[in-house]
Structure 1
Amino acid sequence: MNRSSFPRRIGRRALCALALAAAGGAALAAPSASWPQRPIRLIVPYGPGGSSDVIARALAGEMSKSLGQSVFVDNKAGGQGTIAMLEAARATPDGYTVVLGHVGTLAVNPAMMAKLPYDPARDFAPVALLTRVPMLFAVGPRDRSATLPAFIAEAKAVPGRLNYGSAGNGSAGHLAFEMLKLRAGIDVTHVPYKGTGAQMTDLLAGTIEAASAGLPGFLPHVKAGRLRILAVGAAARLPAIPDVPTVAELGYPGFESSQWFGLLAPAGTPAPIVERLYQEAVKALGTPAVVHRLAEDSSTPTPLGPQEFARFIVAEQKRWGEVVRSARLTAD
């Protein structure tokens, strides 16, 4: 299967397959009325410390209280999220294994990887969309741009000379900046790093001029006067940085680039368990502890149920697939 045909095939059958999975499709056995009877593993496709880990642990803590069984986080980093997703896809569909899905693993990887080891449509039962984390665009001390229009003008004046960093090839920051490049018509060179921390080190050192990431990675350095956030990729300004405009405000209407996170179970998980997981996840999102923790990261709860989440995934595959193909991006 070649790279260009995979996303189109996903698009034609994804909605139907995801809807079947969301309804619990082909359950192996009727769920026990007393579920859960033992701890539930929440697999996270990335390492500790990032937005995915923060969201997973906040959610797991509250769901554990409500379910009466421990929901424990199991970080399985590597392979742009494919290691964790494949393990979750192969797990017994009994409600005791779930995975934190992400824009990268569900919408970007299908477009970037010619041989994706899992099928987002066939292998999972969507449970709930949980939250979104907007992407921001910032410059370090080496770049003197005070505004996004000034940075774009500088990039147009010296095509290919400016560099921007991301947490890795195919990461949310990578895709966000490529979307900006397409909309603004600029040529800025991508420098992939192994994680947000390494990217931030070089941005602060002036090795790269710009980067895109979520607010938590940038904010301490912004407060210290070492970085400057030029624009917010969300549809609206963020309460934590109300003076920073959105990309859309600055002449690119409709621009929206956010990471999003959702809960999935292996395909075949019984529909009543999927529904219970959805209800418990939404309940956890509404607790003061989770609301406060997510607000610290400018993460906005945006709960959607199984079928709505299924449709959302398909729409995001189309949107990010267009960015991947237009920018001619490929996996490492």
Structure 2
Amino acid sequence: MLSTFRKTWLAALFAALSLGAAAQSGTIKIVVPYPPGGSSDIIARSISQPLSDLLKQTVIVENRAGANGNLGADMVAKSKADGLTLLLCDTGALAISPSIYKLPFDPSKDLRGVTMLAYSPHMLVVHPSVPANNLQELVALSKKTQLNFAVTAMGSAPHLAGVSVQRGSGADWAFIPYKGGVQAVTDTIAGQTQVTMNGMLATLPHVQSGKLKVLGISKATRMPLVANMPTLAEQGLKGFESGTWQGVLVPAGTPKAVVDKLNAALIQVIRSPEVRSRLTAQGAEVVTMSPDEQDKFFKQERARWLTVVNEAKIKLD
């Protein structure tokens, strides 16, 4: 007869071996619910190969854009809960969507947090020809001439940040919707729109190349990487802070052991010197969380943006 201790030990060993075998079978798909080139896409492609090397299984990135990330999120929410289909997106968008869209899924019930990966503040940028060098000048200009604000997607975190800046500063501009940050930034670079807000990770290279002019960063304090760039808070929007939070989520029914395994692997990869330094150089801060911490953060973000949506009376189909 086996002792109770030995039975327990063997059961734990069998469970661990079973989990390991399951984790090694099949390709991991990281679904990015936005077009290529945005902040989520940049991070997904930065971690895919290191994650593949660590887990010793194939990891691919699939862009499934549409409906401000909701198309791809819905696909993941309804996928098999086996830890092989991951959603990497701006969790701010998922926190905002329930307040303004009629969704075919419930982000709070159908998706489970794994870990946050990175945060990058939004940058308020304009075409270089716009005769404004700070927020105050932009506000004054907006009252004299037509300004078009390129929205990365209606109901996205950058959109709500733009609404908050408009309401807080008294600016007057028209919101022009796009299907993603890349298109919004591209049209602002081309001068077809004059103003936009977007995550720093995907926008800073265009500022550094002179294709866009930055007027402010949506962080409470200045960033050492770009210490010469003023925050919006110090330009009159007291306490204003917004940004792009990239995180990984899985279907809600994914077993806790699988979620914990993915959490540990993703944190190891994103914190590795090579990946961290690459993202930091582009303006993103590595921020990790436990699954429970991410779910709590998600809940707080939903409450926060619900207030903004209600005050601005934003509602989309």
Specify which structure has the bigger relative contact order, considering alpha-carbon pairs within 8 angstroms and separated by 6 or more residues: 1
Residue 117 of structure 2 corresponds to residue 130 of structure 1? yes
Q: Higher helix proportion, which one?
A: 2
Could you say what secondary structure the match of 1:294 adopts? Answer: helix
- Is the Cα–Cα contact under 8 Å of residues 24 and 55 in structure 2 kept in the other structure? no
CA distance, structure 2, for counterparts of residue 219 and residue 235 of structure 1? 18
RMSD value, Cα: 2.1
- Is the Cα–Cα contact under 8 Å of residues 104 and 170 in structure 1 kept in the other structure? no
- Is the Cα–Cα contact under 8 Å of residues 201 and 279 in structure 2 kept in the other structure? no
CA distance, structure 2, for counterparts of residue 66 and residue 127 of structure 1? 17
Taking only the aligned residue pairs, the percentage that are identical comes to: 36
CA distance, structure 1, for counterparts of residue 98 and residue 275 of structure 2? 31
**Relative to 1, partners in 2 of residues 1:220 and 1:96: Cα closer, same or farther, differing over 3 Å?**
closer
Aligned to 1:33: 19
Aligned to 2:85: 97
- Is the Cα–Cα contact under 8 Å of residues 35 and 180 in structure 2 kept in the other structure? no
The alpha carbon displacement at 1:166 in A equals 2.0
Aligned pair count?
300
- Is the Cα–Cα contact under 8 Å of residues 48 and 75 in structure 1 kept in the other structure? yes
Output the TM-score relative to the length of structure 1: 0.83
The alpha carbon displacement at 1:104 in A equals 4.5
CA distance, structure 1, for counterparts of residue 28 and residue 203 of structure 2? 33
Unaligned runs of 5+ in 2: 1-14
Residue 138 of structure 2 corresponds to residue 154 of structure 1? no
Larger radius of gyration: 2
CA distance, structure 1, for counterparts of residue 260 and residue 241 of structure 2? 30
Task: List 4+ stretches of structure 1 deviating above 6 A.
Answer: none
Residue 144 of structure 2 corresponds to residue 140 of structure 1? no
Structure 2 matches for 1:47-86, cutoff 5 A? 47-86=35-74
Residue 213 of structure 2 corresponds to residue 228 of structure 1? yes
Letter in 1 for 2:130: D
Aligned to 1:252: 237
Query: Which of 236, 250, 268 is the aligned partner of 2:253?
Result: 268
Greater mean deviation of Cα atoms: 33-42 or 195-204: 195-204
**Relative to 1, partners in 2 of residues 1:40 and 1:223: Cα closer, same or farther, differing over 3 Å?**
closer
Aligned to 1:239: 224
The alpha carbon displacement at 1:195 in A equals 3.1
Aligned to 1:171: 156
